[in-house]
């Protein structure tokens, strides 16, 4: 049986529309607030229709010298054009974008996870230094 981590796919977000892209500074000052933006479909748009959409994005931080990671955010996208009138006839469609404000005291890695209802689990990571 595979472990959950083995089910995650990854690729360069510039060439794969499912990979979550992380926009965050490479370095921050200790205790100073900064923004982390995670989105799916920046270079290649993801459809986000009733039939094919990003269901959620989660963001984690793992300090370099810690055993465990810390969840920073979890966002669920629930409007994909569904309506009584039919698929893609609804009045609202959500785009998979998450904005998190955080403060760090240690360097580590930001991890972003996303889930496509058709193509499964995707991941990306970005190191961040503190100093």
Q: Note the pTM of the prediction, 2 decimals.
A: 0.92
Q: How many domains does the chain have?
A: 1
Q: What is the CATH number of the domain that holds 22?
A: 2.60.40.730
Range of the domain at 13: 4-130
pLDDT in tens, the chain (131 residues): 988 888 888 888 778 889 999 999 999 999 999 999 999 998 889 999 999 999 999 999 999 999 999 999 999 999 999 999 999 999 999 999 999 999 999 999 999 999 999 999 999 999 999 99
Backbone torsions φ then ψ of 119, nearest 5 degrees: -105, 10
User: According to the model, what pLDDT value does residue 13 have?
Assistant: 75
- How many C-beta neighbours within 10 Å does residue 83 have? 13
Q: What is the pLDDT of residues 101-130, one digit of tens each?
A: 999 999 999 999 999 999 999 999 999 999
Question: Rg of the chain over CA atoms, in angstroms?
Answer: 16
Supply the pLDDT for residue 16: 84
Contact 60, 111 (CB under 8 A): yes
Distance linking the first and last C-alpha atoms of the chain: 42
- Catalytically active residues, by annotation: 16-18, 46, 52, 116, 119
What was the pLDDT predicted at 78? 95
- Beta bridge partners, 62, equal 109
């Amino acid at each position: 049986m595979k472990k959950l981590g083995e089910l995650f796919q990854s690729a360069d977000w510039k060439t794969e529309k499912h990979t979550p892209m992380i926009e965050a500074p490479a370095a921050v000052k200790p205790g100073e607030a900064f923004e982390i933006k995670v989105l799916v479909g920046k270079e290649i748009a993801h459809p986000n229709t009733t039939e094919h959409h990003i269901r959620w994005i989660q963001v984690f931080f793992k300090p370099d010298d810690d055993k465990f990671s810390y969840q920073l955010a979890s966002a669920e996208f629930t409007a994909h054009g569904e309506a009584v009138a039919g698929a893609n006839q609804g009045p609202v469609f959500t785009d998979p974008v998450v904005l998190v404000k955080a403060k760090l005291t240690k360097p580590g890695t930001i991890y972003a996870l996303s889930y496509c209802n058709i193509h499964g689990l995707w991941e990306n990571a970005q190191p961040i230094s503190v100093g």
